[in-house]
Amino acid sequence: MKIYDRPGFPNPSRIRIVLAEKRLENRIEFVSVDLIGAEHKQPRFLAINPSGKIPVLELDDGTLISESTAITEYLDNLDGNPTLTGKTPREKATVHIRAEAELMGAVDGYFHYATPGLGDAMQPYVSPEWTGRQEWGQRQGAKAIQGMKYFDGVLKSRPFVAGEAFSMADITVFASLDFAEAAGLAIPPELASLAAWRTKVSELPSVKKRSGQAFLPEDLKRFGL
Ligand SMILES: N[C@@H](CCC(=O)N[C@@H](CS)C(=O)NCC(=O)O)C(=O)O
């Protein structure tokens, strides 16, 4: 199998944590896509994912799977140990509650609209005449902070986001917080349960491993960092 990704970017990081948890890394060939050089908006990559986004999983029979949730579902179902997307119907449904839309999606909106994001050339769905861009981005930032407050509340009563076990919900919240931090959106200091959970999760071997997959030095330079 192949994964189209780029080290350091938030959604690819989610899949790298999943692969480490599932001990599947040795079955994957990683194909690096140069996001900052807009390789993902060129016809060659758009044929792989018309959304122009990474990660994408390519199976040995050529099937292409985009969207981190779908990729995780596929990888999780290859082998049930550990289970990251829930075992029972209830767990399978609740594992997806709020993390994707309220946190990852909101942080993504903040990054792309309230900050220079990856640059105008790479955001073809935004009209240059749109004057509400900053305001919409800021509202996404506020939504992300609300999401952080929600998960802080959830983590007051249980060890992991979806219950007793580490799951995809934790991976999504964790990667979203990393993304938020990189975009300049700090966790409010009063959210102590969220901060303590983040420290605990950052110590997991699968998560530590992804830290070794930080942004490539050439990307940092091109980001101006
Ligand atoms: N909903 C998608 C989001 C994927 C996504 O936004 N990936 C980012 C990298 S973290 C990307 O490819 N951005 C390029 C762009 O938006 O131009 C998922 O869950 O995989």
The whole-number pLDDT of residue 123 equals 66
The whole-number pLDDT of residue 83 equals 97
| Mean local confidence (pLDDT), 116-129 | 73
Domain containing 133 — which CATH number?
Answer: 1.20.1050.10
Domain containing 17 — which CATH number?
Answer: 3.40.30.10
Query: 39 in ligand 1 pocket by Cβ < 6 Å?
Result: no
| Mean local confidence (pLDDT), 60-84 | 96
Query: 6 in ligand 1 pocket by Cβ < 6 Å?
Result: no
Residue nearest to atom 5 of ligand 1 (CA): 53
7 and 54 share a domain? yes
The whole-number pLDDT of residue 161 equals 97
Domain that holds residue 219: 2-84+213-223
Q: How many domains does one find in the chain?
A: 2
What atom of ligand 1 comes closest to residue 33's alpha carbon?
12
How far apart are alpha carbons 185 and 129 in whole angstroms? 26
80 and 115 share a domain? no
187 and 163 share a domain? yes
Query: 118 in ligand 1 pocket by Cβ < 6 Å?
Result: yes
135 and 113 share a domain? yes
Query: 11 CA distance to ligand 1 centroid (A)?
Result: 6
The whole-number pLDDT of residue 52 equals 94
Q: Which neighbouring-strand residues pair with 65?
A: 57
Q: What is the mean pLDDT of the chain?
A: 92
76 and 11 share a domain? yes
pLDDT digits (tens, 9 = 90+) for 166-206: 999 999 999 999 999 989 999 999 999 999 999 999 999 99
Q: CA 181 → CA 23, 109, 144, 195, distances in Å?
A: 28, 14, 11, 12
132 and 172 share a domain? yes
